Amino acid sequence: MKRIICFVLAMVMALLALPVAFADDGYFPKDYQLNNGTYVASVVGGNSQKVVKNILKDEPNTIDVKLTYLDLNGQTAFKFRGYQAATNTVCSASSDSMNQTNYVYHAAYTASPTRVDLRMSIQSSSINDFVLFNGRYYI
Amino acid sequence: MKKLFGLFLCFIAVLLIGCSNNDIAKNNNETVASSPSVIIESPSFDTAMDEPNIEHIMLTAEEQEYIRWDNALLSDSPDTFSGVIVDKKVFSDDDYKTIISTLVGSQWTIVQNYEMSKSELAKLIQKIEYNREHCDFSKDLITNDGLKDFQVQEKKAPELSAYQVIEDITSLPSGQFVSFTLLTADEDHPYVVIKRGENDFYFYRSETLNVQSESFLNALLHSTSSKHERAFFEWLLPTEPTITREAAMQEADSIISELHIPMKVKSIEPCTILTNYVERTEGWRIVYARNINGFFDPFDIESFGIADFAPPQKAAPWSRENCTIVIDEKGIASFTWLGASTQSTYCPERRIPAFSEVQPLITRQLFTLNETNLVREGFYRIVDISSVNVAVALLSTDQPDVGEYIPIWVVYYRSKWNDDSDIPENWQTGVIAFSMYNGQYVEPRITERKLSFELGGDR
């Protein structure tokens, strides 16, 4: 009995300690391995890429992105925008150009779809140009 | 054993008390349909903002070099200003019912987990397939994968549409966003999002509704390099709304009046409305906001950033207060009433420092915000100010659920790395606000609560 109560108490304490996210959120999928073995996410030049898709919209007013690692690799206009899932219809403003970590970038919603695709792009039209990043999104 | 059990009970009690404080809706006796807000002069009210106490600073050579004011157009500003104090207007359950009835009439039922019937899905698929033959951009309105999903769904769909009837709004949870569908006499199934205990309300003619205003589409056209995307955005641009501007204004104004919303028209523009992945109509997007001494909140649909190394001094107490109504020939396409507030009082008149008194502080803050960090160590961003306008913003006070509209300098600028060439692609535009009372950086586009979370605080 003591063990059960201790376990329940520990679970309650653990739940209280967990930071509660504001929205349906996650970490960007990592597809590029750095020389040090770390995996990061990447976006190449050309058309915008669907970095995360079909995410349940939970944030009421903005899509938010916080980068914890960023290598612009000389590229510019690294931005994100929300699209209504399963369409090419934009549902948020385009973010500011992301050029720093320690920033949270916010893009205002223009619609309230149930599910959202998050697309990212850079200025370059060449697929040989790319940026590398890690971070979190809040949709 | 007894002690442990007692401790556990105490813990649960603390947890429950914490949750219930968040869940209890503020008991506000003023209903939506009651008398409109009254401006009451209250000269003895103490504002939460500090009296002007401008820090006189000496800018460094770098600050002066990289923050450039040469081309800045400065608006005329008042010499004094009386801010306005507002209380958070928490919507009661009756308020929600009144708003819904104003929008859709008296006959409606709340349902959740609405599942389309076989025939509804068949009809939708038929429309999409028809569009595939007759509309160049049908695959942008819904992709092939999206169509496939509907086809799969149709095979498993029930014969009759299925849903869970919600007897009353009071049975919906508080303190979290909840969405539901309205069954009405019309074919459309309006979609509503609320958060009981708060002051935001969202209504859409359909869950799939997407409104693209003319200015938004023009901004999209400038931001994409994809040829196909440009063609799609050009196709989306409204050409001639099928309802006149006057008729749309009349309908919107009647809703504002009926719900006693204390706001004035801030902007109106044509827009395109997409519904159910196939329907494209044109109408008008009308934004209402509080007019404080002749000034509006300047923001609408923008992007912005928050730096954790230089956060704003103040943020908003709740959502930015505005009411946006989209109308086409079918009627109300969407209605959102956000950041509702009530009971306005005027603050004592305060002196507005001359812009020259706060310009050095603004310069320093802009430099700090644009200072490089690990990403490009040793480089700086040049900030070129284009204009500085006067507006108002709703910011938090030290009293919970009380906000203050204060005058702000709205700084429009563009920025680039100092070693980048001077071509348009390298410049990024931005807009940022500073209090006119003391030149401090303020951010009305994010709530204090969310700001605190982003800076590592508790929710």
Per-position pLDDT tens, chain B of length 459: 555 555 555 455 444 444 333 332 223 333 333 333 333 233 333 344 445 677 788 999 989 999 999 999 999 999 999 999 999 999 999 999 999 999 999 999 999 999 999 999 999 999 999 999 999 999 999 999 999 999 999 999 999 999 999 999 999 999 899 999 999 988 889 999 999 999 999 999 999 999 999 999 998 888 887 889 999 999 999 999 999 999 999 999 999 999 999 999 999 999 999 999 999 999 999 999 999 999 999 999 889 999 988 999 999 999 999 999 999 999 999 999 999 999 778 899 999 999 999 999 999 999 998 876 545 667 778 999 999 999 999 999 999 899 999 999 999 999 988 888 898 878 888 999 999 999 999 999 999 999 998 888 653
Query: Bridge-partner residues for B409, per DSSP?
Result: B390, B434
Residue with tokens 């199934």: B189
Query: In the structure, what pLDDT confidence band is assigned to residue A20 with cuts at 50, 70 and 90?
Result: very low
Does the structure show a pLDDT above 80 at A122?
Answer: yes
Residues in chain A: 139
Amino acid at B296: F
Query: Are A66 and B454 an interchain contact pair (Cβ–Cβ within 8 Å)?
Result: yes
Asked whether the predicted pLDDT for residue A51 surpasses 70, the reply is yes
Closest CA in chain B for residue A103: B307
Angle at B346 between CA B325 and CA B452, to 5 degrees: 65
Inter-chain contact B143–A91, Cβ cutoff 8 Å?
no
Give, to the nearest 10 degrees, the angle between helix A2-17 and helix B2-23: 30
Question: Beta strands A62-71 and A130-138: pairing type?
Answer: antiparallel
**How far off is chain A from B105, nearest CA to CA, in Å?**
23
Please answer whether residues A61 and A108 qualify as being in contact, where contact means their C-beta atoms are separated by less than 8 angstroms.
Answer: yes
User: What is the complex's ipTM, to 2 decimals?
Assistant: 0.83
- For residues B229 and B210, what is the distance between their CA atoms, to the nearest angstrom? 17
A103 against B458, higher pLDDT = A103
- In B, which residues are within 8 Å of A47 by CB distance? 226, 229
In chain A, positions 34-93, which contact chain B (CB-CB < 8 Å)?
47-48, 58, 60-61, 64, 66, 70-72, 76-77, 79, 84-91, 93
pTM score, whole prediction:
0.85
Inter-chain residue contact B308 with A102, CB threshold 8 Å: yes
Inter-chain touch A93–B450, beta carbons under 8 Å:
no
Q: How many CB atoms lie within 10 A of CB B422?
A: 9
Q: Which residues contact B75 (CB under 8 A, 6 or more apart)?
A: B387, B388, B389, B390
- Look up residue B51 and give its DSSP letter: P
Which tokens belong to B104? 């859709």
On chain A, the residues whose CB falls within 8 A of the CB of B303 are 93-96, 105-108
Neighbours of A32 (CB within 10 A): 14
Given a contact cutoff of 8 angstroms between Cβ atoms, the answer to whether B323 and B261 are in contact is: yes
> What integer pLDDT is reported at residue B33 of this predicted model?
34
- Please tell me which of the candidates A20, A96, A111 has its beta carbon nearest to residue B428: A96
Instruction: Note every long-range contact of B419-424, with CB atoms under 8 Å and residues 24 or more positions apart, other chains counting.
Output: B419/B379, B420/A76
Residue B370 · residue B381 · CB < 8 Å: yes
Only one residue has tokens 């549902």, namely A91
The pLDDT confidence band at residue A7, using thresholds 50, 70 and 90, is low
Tokens in use for B229? 């995307």
Cβ of residue A14 closer than 8 Å to a chain B Cβ: no
Structure tokens at B424: 């348009």
Interior angle at CA B282, CA B281 and CA B287, nearest 5: 125
For residue B1, count other CB atoms closer than 10 A to its CB: 8
Would you say residue A16 has pLDDT above 50? Answer: no
In angstroms, the separation between the Cα of residue A119 and the nearest Cα of chain B is: 12
Residue A107 near chain B (CB below 8 Å)? yes
Helix (H, G, I), strand (E, B) or coil at A110: coil
What pLDDT is recorded for position B370? Answer: 83
CA nearest neighbour of B395 among B442, B353, B361, B450 = B442
Residue among A88, A94, A111 minimizing CB distance to B211: A111
Check B309 against A108: CB less than 8 A apart.
Answer: no
Strand B40-41 versus strand B341-346 pairing type: parallel
What are the C-alpha distances in Å from A117 to residues A92, A139, B146, B150, B156?
11, 9, 12, 18, 25
Please report, to the nearest 10 degrees, the dihedral formed by the alpha carbons of residues A123, A124, A130, A132 taken in order: -10
Closest-CA residue of chain A to B456 = A19
